[in-house]
């Protein structure tokens, strides 16, 4: 399986043999044996590369999960020996990765230096899928979908506010409405970011002049800092940005605008391995210290 996965990754037997540090003939024998056992070709030659055949694509999906499970199982066995090693696969939205996950990872690394973190930063709508398909162990996202496959290990609500430069007319106000904001050019998060879904509901009943749609929160703040428009974010990371001190956060007082719910999600039907479980526990303690629990009005 390892030989097959290496050939699939590199598209060539010789390149796979170099990675595996075995002879090309040994890799080729394993591929031929697999194809003979399955009765179907696993690769098709396209030019000088080997491309997965339909049967190969199916096998690769299975092999990827098997190899990962074996790797994690070996890590758990090492942990039982007292090595405290392992791998934690994490997917996170940009704001959490940039502003919260860095400190969280640093403190976890101090406590468990032999545990490796593999972190993917992506949009919120993709994180739930990565967790449900077991591509990652843990997701840090906002407003995850209600799905029986997902388990929420922690959540905290954050109010959405307008962010404007200190010279903007709105910056002197204690709060404002979305209608107040659209009297000026606005900067929207791209579709796929959790904030966009909430703002689209407001845009359905308000006319707005959109200066830009941006896929990163940091660039949204930079544009707002230059006075090019009002953007919308939570307080996460805003007050800690040393190069963005001249930005002002103005809470939005619209009752129709929901809060943004930060959540730690895992697969509800797969028990976490030891290392990911330790990371979730550490993250829950870290966030509880940063954001003391508030009464849940929904319960």
| DSSP for the chain, written as a single string | -HHHHHHHHHSSHHHHHHHHTS-HHHHHHHHHHHHHHHTS--EEEETTEEEE-HHHHHHHHHHHHHHHHHHHHHHHHHHHTT---EEEEEEE-HHHIIIIIHHHHHHHHHH-TTEEEEEEE--HHHHHHHHHTTS-SEEEEES----TTEEEEEEEEE--EEEEETTSGGGG-S-B-HHHHTTS-EEEEPBTBHHHHHHHHHHTTS---EEEEES-HHHHHHHHHTTS-EEEE-STTTTT-GGGTTEEEEEB--TTSPPEEEEEEEETTSPPPHHHHHHHHHHHHHHHHHS-----TT-
Can you give the pLDDT at residue 187?
95
Q: Are residues 197 and 231 in the same domain?
A: yes
Residue 283 domain flag: yes
Residue 138 domain flag: yes
Residue 171 domain flag: yes
**What is the tens place of the pLDDT at every residue in 102-133?**
999 999 999 888 889 999 999 888 999 999 99
* Residue 63 pLDDT grade (very low, low, confident, very high; cuts 50, 70, 90): confident
Last-in-domain residue among 78, 109, 131: 78
Q: Are residues 137 and 281 in the same domain?
A: yes
Q: Are residues 40 and 59 in the same domain?
A: yes
**What is the tens place of the pLDDT at every residue in 147-167?**
999 999 999 998 899 999 999
> CB-hemisphere CA count at 13 Å for 12?
7
- Span 264-288, average pLDDT: 91
* Distance between CA atoms of residues 213 and 4, nearest Å: 43
Can you give the pLDDT at residue 279?
94
Residue 299 domain flag: no
Residue 164 domain flag: yes
- Domain span including residue 209: 160-251
Q: Are residues 71 and 89 in the same domain?
A: no
Q: Are residues 240 and 167 in the same domain?
A: yes
**What is the tens place of the pLDDT at every residue in 71-101?**
777 776 766 665 567 889 999 998 898 888 9
Residue 257 domain flag: no
Last-in-domain residue among 27, 58, 78: 78
The CATH number of the domain where 145 resides is what? 3.40.190.10
Q: Is the pLDDT of residue 192 over 80?
A: no
Q: Are residues 68 and 106 in the same domain?
A: no
Q: Are residues 167 and 235 in the same domain?
A: yes
Can you give the pLDDT at residue 91?
96
Last-in-domain residue among 45, 78, 111: 78
* Distance between CA atoms of residues 10 and 27, nearest Å: 13
Q: Are residues 101 and 220 in the same domain?
A: no
Can you give the pLDDT at residue 121?
93
Q: Are residues 66 and 202 in the same domain?
A: no
How many domains is the chain built from? Answer: 3
Residue 73 domain flag: yes
* Distance between CA atoms of residues 120 and 89, nearest Å: 8
The CATH number of the domain where 60 resides is what? 1.10.10.10
**What is the tens place of the pLDDT at every residue in 6-50?**
899 889 988 888 888 888 888 899 999 988 888 989 999 888 889
For 217, list phi and psi in degrees, rounded to 5. Answer: -65, -35
* Distance between CA atoms of residues 283 and 88, nearest Å: 12
Q: Are residues 88 and 73 in the same domain?
A: no
104-113 b/e with 16+ CB inside 10 Å = b?
A: bbeebeeebe
> CB-hemisphere CA count at 13 Å for 287?
23
**What is the tens place of the pLDDT at every residue in 223-239?**
999 999 999 988 886 75
C-beta atoms surrounding 230 within 10 Å: 29
Q: Are residues 27 and 50 in the same domain?
A: yes
Q: Are residues 150 and 267 in the same domain?
A: yes
Residue 256 domain flag: no
């Amino acid at each position: 399986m390892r030989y097959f996965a290496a050939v699939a990754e590199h598209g060539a037997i010789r390149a796979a043999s170099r990675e595996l540090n075995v002879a090309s003939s040994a890799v080729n024998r394993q591929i031929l044996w697999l194809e003979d056992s399955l009765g179907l070709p696993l690769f098709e030659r396209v030019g000088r590369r080997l491309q997965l055949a339909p049967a190969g694509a199916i096998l690769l999906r299975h092999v990827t999960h098997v190899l990962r499970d074996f790797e994690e199982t070996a890590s758990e066995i090492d942990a039982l020996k007292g090595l405290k090693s392992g791998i934690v696969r994490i997917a996170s939205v940009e704001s959490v990765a940039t502003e919260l996950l860095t400190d969280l990872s640093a403190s976890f690394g101090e406590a468990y230096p032999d545990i490796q973190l593999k972190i993917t930063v992506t949009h919120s709508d993709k994180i739930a899928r990565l967790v449900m398909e077991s591509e990652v162990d843990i997701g840090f996202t906002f407003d995850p979908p209600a799905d029986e496959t997902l388990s929420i290990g922690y959540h905290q609500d954050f109010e959405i506010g307008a962010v404007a430069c200190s010279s903007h007319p709105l910056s002197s106000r204690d709060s404002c409405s979305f209608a107040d904001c659209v009297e000026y050019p606005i900067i929207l998060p791209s579709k796929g970011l959790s904030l966009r879904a909430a703002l689209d509901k407001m845009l359905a009943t308000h006319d707005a002049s959109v200066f830009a749609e941006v896929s990163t929160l940091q660039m949204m703040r930079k544009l707002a800092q230059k006075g090019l428009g009002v953007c919308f974010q939570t307080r996460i990371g805003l007050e800690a940005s040393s190069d963005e001190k001249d930005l002002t956060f103005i809470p939005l007082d619209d009752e129709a605008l929901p809060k943004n719910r930060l959540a730690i999600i895992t697969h509800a039907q797969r028990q976490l391995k030891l290392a990911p479980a330790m990371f979730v526990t550490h993250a829950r303690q870290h966030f509880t210290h940063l954001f003391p629990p508030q009464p849940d009005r929904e319960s």
